Chains A and B, each alone.
Chain A
């Protein structure tokens, strides 16, 4: 793995995330480009919601508000991927994917990569801090939210 020598955790050439034609997730992707994590929160009933939807699943108010959230959370689950399922990953070696729960946003979860040694032990419950990973040279450009484990103590 070459994350120390590379600006991005995974090699270039993987699919590029864009908002849907109807623009549902456009605020989320635009936020990441500005180092901001935005999550939907209903302004009527305060319910958090991610991924986004046009309606609050609790009170059915339309167009939940986008609210900035501090990018920190807890490891909810993890996997270490060995088999390359895309040509861009051939010869790359293993990498770590995590599911991070964000307690200050109602416990919504986000999928990302854990930066650092791909063979590190990952503990469910460990604290993690978000790191914005920018892909400015991509066409179109985009940004991802990656994670550093900051506390390896199992909660």
Chain B
């Protein structure tokens, strides 16, 4: 094997435990944000039957406020050996945090790393609102005075341009929302469990910003989610079926970070280079993927992200995005089978990572038939973005 092909995450680490808190509407958590993080981490350790004191590293993203050293002290871990924070906001880091933890393990820096996200928007302010009169500079100065204040307004023009370029209809976006709500009805953890959505209700819902109806936008929630990674050679020492990292990739293409709205490839979810990197590491292609969890800040980002991962050509989007194609157990490509950010919980995408683990284990509340390889796509339209392929031992 050449030196270069040695440099891979494929098959080198496994997820042995997952855990989450109860998921709440924003502001409804009775627990402090840091306590939510601790609860999710302990739940993941309990899932694996792992002593939490054996954790020797933490990885997170989006400037998570639950600091790694404070967590290590609070849990009384024997020692701390890696603490990584992925740069960038939004959910673009939800897979990158797993990649960073996996890389720490493969490089021999650590042996048992927790990846997590904790978020109590009720305690620290919401993403969807800005307040007051402030002097602003940098990217926001070119946007906020024109009323581009919150994420829906920051991303709608990318989606509009993509719809214009490729003739994508509103019904394609609607199908994504319908699939998420469909799956949430079978998922008791989902905040929107018991609150079904149908086409008429979607169509009648108010515009947030055209082309996003209310149901095209993610929720805002309180909660926390975590998983535990160990080296492949220890994967079978724990009680759950191990789920292996087959590949991960992080970043974005040429000058994606050119503000304001000046990225050369504008009508994009930022995966033009990152999708290829993922498939190359995993040695897999779109036809090998049985189920996808794709971060929905807004439905339109999912359309672009799945196109950039090669599941269809952009001109085929209207045919691809139908409810029947997107639902478990046997749709063409079951999507966001927990309900995702739209209908399970907006845990900044980390709930999507946990759901991919459940699919490979075979324990999802919307279990798919083809579950050997599960994909997660994190943070469309931001930079850096990231993605992840997980697989069963049969895929190694």
Min CB–CB distance A45 → chain B (angstroms): 15
Q: A16-B136, A18-B135 are in contact. Are A79 and B146 (CB under 8 A)?
A: no
- Interface stretch of the complex, out of B29-37, B137-145, B361-369: B137-145
Cβ of A30 within 8 Å of any chain B Cβ, yes or no, is no
Min CB–CB distance A142 → chain B (angstroms): 7
CB closest chain-A residue, reference B263: A109
In whole angstroms, how far apart are the Cα atoms of A86 and B132 in the complex? Answer: 8
Min CB–CB distance A11 → chain B (angstroms): 10
Cβ of B148 within 8 Å of any chain A Cβ, yes or no, is yes
Cβ of B79 within 8 Å of any chain A Cβ, yes or no, is no
Q: Could you say which interface size class chain B belongs to?
A: 35 or more
Question: Which B residues between 131 and 167 are near A, CB-CB below 8 angstroms?
Answer: 131-150, 152-153, 156-158, 160-161, 164
Q: A80-B210, A81-B209 are in contact. Are A142 and B145 (CB under 8 A)?
A: yes
Contact of B260 among A57, A79, A111, A144 (CB under 8 A): A111
Cβ of A148 within 8 Å of any chain B Cβ, yes or no, is no
In whole angstroms, how far apart are the Cα atoms of A95 and B147 in the complex? Answer: 8
**Inter-chain contact B145/A17, CB cutoff 8 Å:** yes
Min CB–CB distance B54 → chain A (angstroms): 44
Contact of A16 among B134, B147, B164 (CB under 8 A): B134
In whole angstroms, how far apart are the Cα atoms of A27 and B208 in the complex? Answer: 35
Contacts of A34 in B (CB 8 A): none
**Inter-chain contact A80/B209, CB cutoff 8 Å:** yes
In whole angstroms, how far apart are the Cα atoms of A17 and B136 in the complex? Answer: 5
Instruction: Kindly supply a per-residue 1/0 record for chain A positions 65-81, scoring 1 wherever the CB is within 8 Å of any chain B CB and 0 otherwise.
Output: 00000000000111111
**Inter-chain contact B145/A16, CB cutoff 8 Å:** yes
Min CB–CB distance A49 → chain B (angstroms): 8
Contacts of B87 in A (CB 8 A): none
**Inter-chain contact A110/B142, CB cutoff 8 Å:** yes
**Inter-chain contact A15/B146, CB cutoff 8 Å:** no
In whole angstroms, how far apart are the Cα atoms of A93 and B144 in the complex? Answer: 17
**Inter-chain contact A83/B152, CB cutoff 8 Å:** yes
Instruction: Kindly supply a per-residue 1/0 record for chain B positions 252-267, scoring 1 wherever the CB is within 8 Å of any chain A CB and 0 otherwise.
Output: 0001001111100011
Q: A16-B145, A50-B262, A77-B164 are in contact. Are A97 and B157 (CB under 8 A)?
A: yes
**Inter-chain contact A79/B210, CB cutoff 8 Å:** yes
Cβ of A10 within 8 Å of any chain B Cβ, yes or no, is yes
**Inter-chain contact B130/A77, CB cutoff 8 Å:** no
CB closest chain-A residue, reference B259: A51
Contacts of B255 in A (CB 8 A): 57
**Inter-chain contact A86/B137, CB cutoff 8 Å:** no
Cβ of A89 within 8 Å of any chain B Cβ, yes or no, is yes
**Inter-chain contact A10/B131, CB cutoff 8 Å:** no
Contact of B261 among A13, A86, A109 (CB under 8 A): A109
In whole angstroms, how far apart are the Cα atoms of A57 and B260 in the complex? Answer: 15
Min CB–CB distance B115 → chain A (angstroms): 31
Contacts of B164 in A (CB 8 A): 77, 124
Cβ of B65 within 8 Å of any chain A Cβ, yes or no, is no
**Inter-chain contact A109/B262, CB cutoff 8 Å:** yes
Q: Which residues of A contact B (CB under 8 A)?
A: 10, 13-21, 25, 29, 50-51, 57, 76-83, 85-89, 94-95, 97-99, 108-113, 124, 140, 142, 144
- Apart from A83-B209, A97-B146, what 16 extra A-B contacts exist at CB < 8 Å? A16-B135, A17-B136, A18-B141, A25-B138, A57-B258, A77-B164, A79-B156, A79-B160, A79-B211, A85-B128, A86-B147, A89-B147, A97-B157, A111-B142, A111-B143, A113-B147
Q: Can you list 29 A-B pairs with a CB-CB distance of less than 8 A?
A: A14-B144, A14-B149, A15-B144, A15-B145, A16-B134, A16-B135, A18-B141, A20-B138, A50-B262, A51-B139, A57-B255, A78-B157, A79-B211, A80-B207, A81-B153, A83-B209, A85-B128, A85-B150, A86-B131, A86-B149, A88-B133, A97-B146, A99-B161, A108-B262, A110-B142, A110-B260, A111-B143, A111-B148, A144-B146
